[in-house]
Structure 1
């Protein structure tokens, strides 16, 4: 019978991590933290950058419509929870979760963010070129979305995708 190797002896957790670049997960965490801070600021009544979002969202928020206020607070909490999720992909404490849970969450976050940001960029580029119409309420913020908000969502998706790819490639059962 072959002698056990150090590699065999180290398999004590649900999966065995190997050396992996951690920067994508840390970048995803920073991305989520910054995005969460902006949402917290807005939820607390701040107005900086609020005029870059669009009247259909900002008008109810500025009128303190309960549903919109709750939505902004929930958005902030989800974004801050994404900080923990991103770090869970690379930190030792993340191993308390099953590998499939981490991978599923990472791919879900990456997919949703990439889809939302990418589709937004395509739609807004078509609006900017006149290929499709733009509403009177969205026209003033079109370029904010095209060059700031949609790329920011897309960037978060890229960070989560890279972090999840690294987890996929550098863990084994």
Structure 2
């Protein structure tokens, strides 16, 4: 019995499978989404829109944004771009990168993880101390402190944990882990020193 094939059957392409993300990619993607979402307020405020900012951000900063102070507007744009850069780092940590690119991913990922978790914990601890009466703030800042306790502190911690998980998974997939761990540790230490210097000098 002869088997007849039509022309359409002969050239019909095999069905394509939808691309699937590896489980290890999710922390990096979570960090990327976190960075993009966090960049939105910076760009919005830089363009002069401060809706909702007075109840969640220090009044002095809101006034600088509303008065369109040039240096502060520039800081907002730079901050937004840095958050977008953080999102790119998150995407970069979803798969292996060779050479200096991989080292940069680990360095920045480790630094972002420590910096964000550290600042988030500071916000939470300060808010808790204010709530239990150990520390006092001006009456007009009491509501703002609760926002830092309930929103910004946890938000920073979540972002830091996402970068930490993404960086850890990235390093674990590599053969020469020791070198990459050094880059991550240096980035984390640099972020901690930068934050400590900011607290001591009162800048930032």
> Among residues 51, 64, 67, which one is paired with 1:63 in the alignment?
67
Residue 85 (structure 1) aligns with: 89
Residue 113 (structure 1) aligns with: 116
Cα root mean square deviation, aligned: 1.7
Residue 107 (structure 2) aligns with: 104
Alignment of 1:1-173 (within 5 A): 21-51=24-54, 52-91=56-95, 94-95=97-98, 97-173=100-176
Q: Give distance in 2, aligned partners of 1:131 and 1:120.
A: 15
Report how many residues are paired.
154
- Quote how far apart the aligned CAs of 1:98 are: 4.5
- Quote how far apart the aligned CAs of 1:27 are: 0.2
Q: Give distance in 1, aligned partners of 2:42 and 2:64.
A: 15
The answer on whether the counterparts of 2:114 and 2:160 sit within 8 Å (CA) in structure 1 is yes
The answer on whether the counterparts of 2:42 and 2:77 sit within 8 Å (CA) in structure 1 is yes
Query: Which SS does the other structure have where 2:98 is aligned?
Result: helix
Q: Give distance in 2, aligned partners of 1:70 and 1:99.
A: 30
Inter-CA distance 91–170: structure 2 relative to 1 (3 Å threshold): closer
The answer for unaligned runs of 5 or more in structure 2 is: 1-21, 177-204
Q: Which has the larger radius of gyration?
A: 2
Quick one: higher RCO (CA 8 Å, sep 6+), 1 or 2?
Answer: 1
The answer on whether the counterparts of 1:20 and 1:166 sit within 8 Å (CA) in structure 2 is no
